[in-house]
Structure 1
Amino acid sequence: LGRAQAAKNKGNKYFKAGKYELAIQCYTEAISLCPPEKNFDLSTFYQNRAAAYEQLQKWTEVAQDCTKAVELNPKYVKALFRRAKAHEKLDNKKECLEDVTAVCILEAFQNQQSMLLADKVLKLLGKEKAKEKYKNREPLMPSPQFIKSYFSSFTDDIISQPLLKGEKSDEDKDKEGEASEVKENSGYLRAKQYMEEENYDKIISESTKEIEAKGRYMAEALLLRATFYLLIGNASAAKPDLDQVISMEDANVKLRANALIKRGSMYMQQQQPVLSTQDFNMAADIDPQNADVYHHRGQLKILLDQIEEAVEDFDE
């Protein structure tokens, strides 16, 4: 044991001189010379070597040596706290929290440093858990009142107009039978029917049928599906549909403008004001008489503190 202590003392001198590699060699020698039954001394040697590894930012080795120190001396606060810091560097948040909690308890919550680390890791873990829960949550349809309120913020929106308004105008008066047959076979028109009945849960699936069949109302179905994806909080699913409608140069300009407004609003929620502004400006370019463009762009400009420009849009 005397030789082991001498090696440790030599290591301490190297450590204080900043010669960490040499210190590690001395602590390793102390560990090998120490009688195995001398738990307390052995744990100190491992903890000292961990401190030298810490200076070299070798976090895995720090954690390993601290583990050996704690196995030999379960209430070794210094080793527990050093391992907690190593786990933090290795992004092992759960293990870090376990160690730092043990430290706080052993110190009777008197040490500011360990309590600050515990608080920091708890917050990080909480954010991770919340993010994971949000990611895996089941999309929920908002209340009918919320959906009606959302659609009422648009005055120039084809997909929210009553069933067959503007759609039957393409049919000759002597083809009423054919029109009802189209309604029967069109996923989009069924989706519109469900919309009038406030049976909102079926709208995405019926719109999808129209899209997959490449039906005559494909652009409308894409926009309707995207809108309901946005309503249930699934922006990543909505974006490809909106992109497709916007790129359809032969689609009704009202549909494309509406898709641009919705994508612009989505970008704003994602804190991408440049992309948002681009979409609203493009909507104004392709459909300058569309009141919805100015109403929603005005709201964007208020959020961006562009009050005078917002007033101009609201005046439009």
Structure 2
Amino acid sequence: MTNLQEGNIVHAIDCMKKAYAIKEDDSLNILMVSSLLQVEEYEEALLLAESKHKFYEADEKRLLIYIEILIENNQMLKAEKYLNDQLADQNTQYLDSWLRLENKLNLRKEMQKKATQKEQEKIFRQLYSLPSLNTLEQFSKMKDVYQLSNSHLIKLSEQLLVNPYLHPLVRATLFSLLTEREIDKPLKYLWFGEMKTINPLNMLSIDKKPTTIILFKELEEVLSKNPSLYELAENELNTLLLMLYPFEEEIVYSGSENEWIEAVIKVINPSDTTQLNEDNTKQISINNWVNKIHDELLRFEAQ
């Protein structure tokens, strides 16, 4: 206590920690928490307070300290719930203190909101320039898109989905995120040189599309006894479908699944003894699409 009286709080905290290690006393806990709060060691203060959260909830003064620590640790929702309960309680004894904390919470939330908006704008500007980057950089930067709000995501998508310099796999990934967010807005989409219009709300993500499910089931049946070849074929099929997404059902129609699987196997294993019927119109069309997809991928590999 002498150290606290002399203002040597850091040394006092070290002494209290040693004593607390011997016996986790409630009164020592709150003294340590208050001291840690004073020296802005907010995370450590929260860990100590939460180890005895019922002790803090049982007393209004202690609860004030606990909520202040929550605010300093940016646990706004939890702090707000406690605050609302106390402000609604007519038996609250320290109304001025609760109002002070409410004001502090509101100010902190406003600061967080402004910081989030600033970060969103920064990420948006970086992603807006994706088409100017090489392929590897595009894929690397795409991970940031998941941090965008829906409004920023829509604004970004309106520009990127029609940009011919955006990698098709990046474009498909972006659109898949729009479907997951259930965005309801018709958007232009550049697909193999053709400008189409599509609403993400009416679509499924690529892994949930019926075409995808059927093809992978067919692939598993064909290559179940050849796991190494299956893994390669799985990667190839994933790439083909993602390149065709979200319009793959216009190309991979019902009844052509077996021919697509044969074409995939032929790509990864040209020596495969399975004979493709080159005179079959359906097979010729599939082969042309597989070649078209690989040509498009090669175009971006050259960047």
Instruction: State TM-score, norm by structure 2.
Output: 0.34
Q: TM-score, normalised by structure 1?
A: 0.33
Q: Which structure's residues are more often helix, by fraction?
A: 1
Higher CA-based Rg? 1
